[in-house]
Every structure is written in C-alpha cells, then in structure tokens.
Amino acid sequence: MAISMEFCSQLPWSFNPTPPPTSNLFLSITNPRFLFVNKVNKSQHLCHSSSLSSSNQQQQLQEPLAQDDGDDNGDGKYDDDDDDGKGQFSNLVKEYGWQVRRMIEKDDEMRSVANIQAEAFHQPLILFNDVFFQFFQAEVLAGLLYRLRNSPPDRYACLVAETSTSDNQEEKQLVGVVDVTVFREESVLKHLSEANEYLYVSGIAVLHNFRRKKVASVLLKACEMVAVLWGYKYLVLRAYEDDLGARKLYTNAGYTIVSGDPVWTTSWIGRRRRILMLKQCDI
C-alpha cells in the first residue's frame, strides 16, 4: 500500500509561508544551507532559484548541505546532548523491528529523507522519468532545508523510522519519514475543543520495499509522542477521500473524519477531494 497523503510544505503559522508555486522547479542548493533572497516590495522570503541543466543539478546533489554533523563532542557519536538543544527524541517508539527518532541534520540523513519522500510522492512519467525524479528529489530536499531553517525546534520536527536490529548507527537503514508541525488554522480549530494550536502530520512516506510492515503505524505513534512531549492535545492530518488504504491506516491509529473539502472546490476542476482527520491525545 502506497501511503498517499497531502504532502504539506507549509511553515508554522508564525512564520512566512513557503515559496509560491511560481518559483522555478530547479531550486538551487548551496553550502551550508539554502540561499534566500528578499523579493522587492514583499515581506516574505523566497527561495533563490535558477535554471539548471540535469548535470549541474546532479552535481549539486553531491555537494555538502550542512557543516554541522550533529557530533558536537567530536567523539564520533550522535548523542541527545549533541544536537544543539533541538532534542533528537531518541527512540520515541520502538515496535515491530522499527524505531523512530528525530532526524539528525547531517548531509547523508537529509538526503535519505528527501529520497524517501521523493520516491513516495513522485508521479512517474513516460519520458525522462529519471531526470525529472532527480529534479523532484532536489525540490523535496530544498523544502526540507527551508523548513529546518525557518522553524523553531519546538514547532517543527522531521521524524525518521529506521531498523532497530543493530546498535551500530552506521548499519541502520532509514525506511520511513514523517513531518510534524505546529499549526493554528482557523478552519481546523473550529473542530477542536479548547485548543488554539494543534500538531499537523504531513509528508508521511515509506520506502516501497518496506510497506505493509507496520512502518507507517510506528511513525504515527511517534507523532503522538511528540504531541504529548510538546503539550498539544490534538493531532490533525489530511488524506485523500478515495485513498481507502491510507484512510484505514489512520482510522486504525485512532483518527476520525471531521470534515472534507467543499465539493465545489474539487469536482469541477478535477481535484481529488481531501478529508480532515484528527486524534485527541491524552496529555
């Protein structure tokens, strides 16, 4: 079952929105992070973009993304105390042979996250599919860097699922990923009792070879743990109404449907209708 859900790239409510859809697809990645420019006469930050050939795009994917590898002590280990106060949430959940923690902001791990989400959400093309997949992967990676740069550590987290059969960090394989972000959208808050913010779950993705092995279920449990640790009563997500597999997954995890996109915004323009689902946490 391919987990299909709205791939949300929005930032927390208190920050500027993500780059508008008119941004060039071939986003430029620089070292150590992503290059930003202020657009004239607009208060929001836009991702600096440029038109790149496929060879240049591939070369940029091999460049370092960040100098901070999470090893502040220089001991070769990535401890909870080595994350500059961001809290790795080590071993949030450990079940079915998988364990979930917060993503470490180092090159190879961020690239793995981008690859997992790109594999899950990329729509295959008949021609030049490999080339466009690389472009899409670069765009996903750029979005991840943007969220990390613009979000406080207690309002956004990227969680990763990995194998738990080995104690050696280098032997572990990332198999799934999910984003959690603090939001306060009025159209959602009207469904929540005595809450002015909530934790939004998005971008859940599992590598193709590891689907139907409880990875997504473990990721959802980890999201609930983050909600409890951050003190949020509600978890919220959106799913496509016609994606019965995803709806069953979320229902089994305790989510209930509270609303859906208005029919007039979907039927006449051919958009897939989304449903809003929420879960209340015991905090």
The angle subtended at Cα 17 by Cα 198 and Cα 38, nearest 5°, is: 150
Nearest-angstrom CA–CA distance, 248 and 91: 26
Q: In this structure, are residues 274 and 260 in contact, taking their beta carbons and an 8 Å threshold?
A: yes
Q: In this structure, are residues 183 and 162 in contact, taking their beta carbons and an 8 Å threshold?
A: no
240 labelled catalytic: no
Phi–psi pair at 219, nearest 5 degrees: -60, -45
Nearest-angstrom CA–CA distance, 6 and 272: 10
Nearest-angstrom CA–CA distance, 71 and 83: 8
Residue 124 three-state SS: coil
The active-site residue, picked from 232, 234, 250, 255, is 250
Q: Where are the beta strands (DSSP E) in the chain?
A: 36-38, 45-47, 93-95, 98-102, 156-163, 174-183, 198-206, 234-240, 256-260, 274-280
First vs last C-alpha separation in the chain: 32
Catalytic residues: 250
